A and B are shown apart, each in its own frame.
Chain A
Amino acid sequence: MKGRDLGELALRNLREAFLRNSLTTLGIAVGVASLIAMVSLGVGLQDFANDRLARSGLFDAIFVTPQSSAANFRGAQGPVFAPVQPAKPLDEDARQKMAALPNVVEVYPDIRFPTEIHFNGNPFATMAAGVAPAARKDGAFDGMKGSFFSGPDADEAILQIDLARQLSDQPDSLIGKSVVLRYAERQPLAPDGAGGAPDGFSIVPKEKSLRIVGIVETEPAGGIGSLGRGRLLIPLQLAEALRTTQANDLRDLLRGNPNQRSYESLTVRVNDPPKVKEVEDAIKDMGFTAFSLIDASKSLSIVFTVFDLFLGIFGSLALVVASLGIVNTLVMAILERRREIGIFKALGASDRDIRRLFFVEAGTMGLLGGVLGLFIGRLIGLAINFGTNFYLKRRSLPEISVTAVHWWMVVLAILFSILISLAAGIYPASRAAALDPVEALRYE
């Protein structure tokens, strides 16, 4: 029998026992819904964790420092007291070269400096830090009060809530007000009388008025190698323009090159975490120390894969139970349609035709149940999201999505549903195909 005719006859048969077949299909749908809800929860949590980690700047970033002299300390593999070679300076030239590497989005220094801010005539000591524009998507800025910086070099500041509370009992009222930032600026010395380069620099106290534009709950992560950025955040370009003294300024001075400013560390942000290794190797080849947390990301992926697998197994149990419903429905159909099967055989249907007809009926129930189950599963996922966000909202936390349905889940769930249904149809289909036509025709 041709496929189209099989399909038409199968649909006709399914319509005949509409209630029973609908209930069986609903059973499959519940099984698929359970599977989808479980797996979408696992995948959603994985996506959530990956997103948070990606936004933390830890997994698409490479932390670069000048090569330490300790690199020459090779123990048994080489000379212990080899002559110390001067490390290649991590300067503006190196920064430009790194920025030109393929897949690199941006390269920025970690600028942090102690400061004293004045607000309403009172001084407050704190730590200030430059924030790169890409940090806008950091989780720390989710749900922030006010807004992010209006430009990369705007005279604006974002306060961490603890600092804001020190400044005012009503932190929210600080937005729009100004604070005065006092800092130590590194200034080059004038050339000496002989026209030679100066052999030092001066440090001058300076002030800058900043408008408070936002308040964040948590201190944004400072990237690999630093504990945090600071409690007063300013645009990175502004922080660079302030030329504040940094910890490595003394090192520049001691190396006799005080006017060639270098960075203590640079953060290289890559457009895609899988590209991190490639960029990291290129930076190492340039003569710098570089490391990333990409391996930790892989471990996390393995953990979630195992987690998803177990959720999938538990979710599948309902589908397996539902498949027993298909066996029951089709066995009942054989009893009811015994004579009909005899007539089919008398008119020329082969055992294969009868088997295929029952398979198509089972597969159709699987397909319909799979599609319906997807919708129900998605609704369950949305309900989980709704409940989670309701809880988070009550605790004044930003909304998140803990369930996710990817296209591959849709395809796999429907295929799995059809396969389970076909497997459930093997016994009834074989039994129907094996019916003796003479006996079947006698059946009343």
Chain B
Amino acid sequence: MTTDFLEEIHAQVGLVALRANPNLVAPNGFVFDGVVVSPTPDPPWVMVYTAVAWPRDGLGTSLSAQQVTVTTTYTCHCVGLSTTGARAVQMQVRSTLLNFRPSIAGRNCSPIKQDDSQVPERDESLGRLVVDAVSVFSFTSTG
């Protein structure tokens, strides 16, 4: 058994890139990793759900039958006070992640691509009205 932290490293490359964007960090905004702090700050901010998976078939399996590929998916909830605000956050997230090629020691990473983008929707689940626009990005790495 090895302790290689690959899951955490793959999750962090996207989050670190987002936090390197001055328009998304304090005082201009926030980047949350799956949980919004309490009390909920004023938008704009982005909350990212990250999934790191080792897919079974197709790309995932090498010729020697080893599972070598990691797929990392960032589901970004871009939150603003209005649809315009949510789209502005979406734009910052896109300009940070899209076509960015992460660098991970020992792995070959693809550039990050966008999988999906949803219309901004009102959301009151945090006890206040905000507008949430979802953008989904992912990249694969092999090693």
A and B form one complex:
no
User: CB within 8 Å of A: which residues of B?
Assistant: none
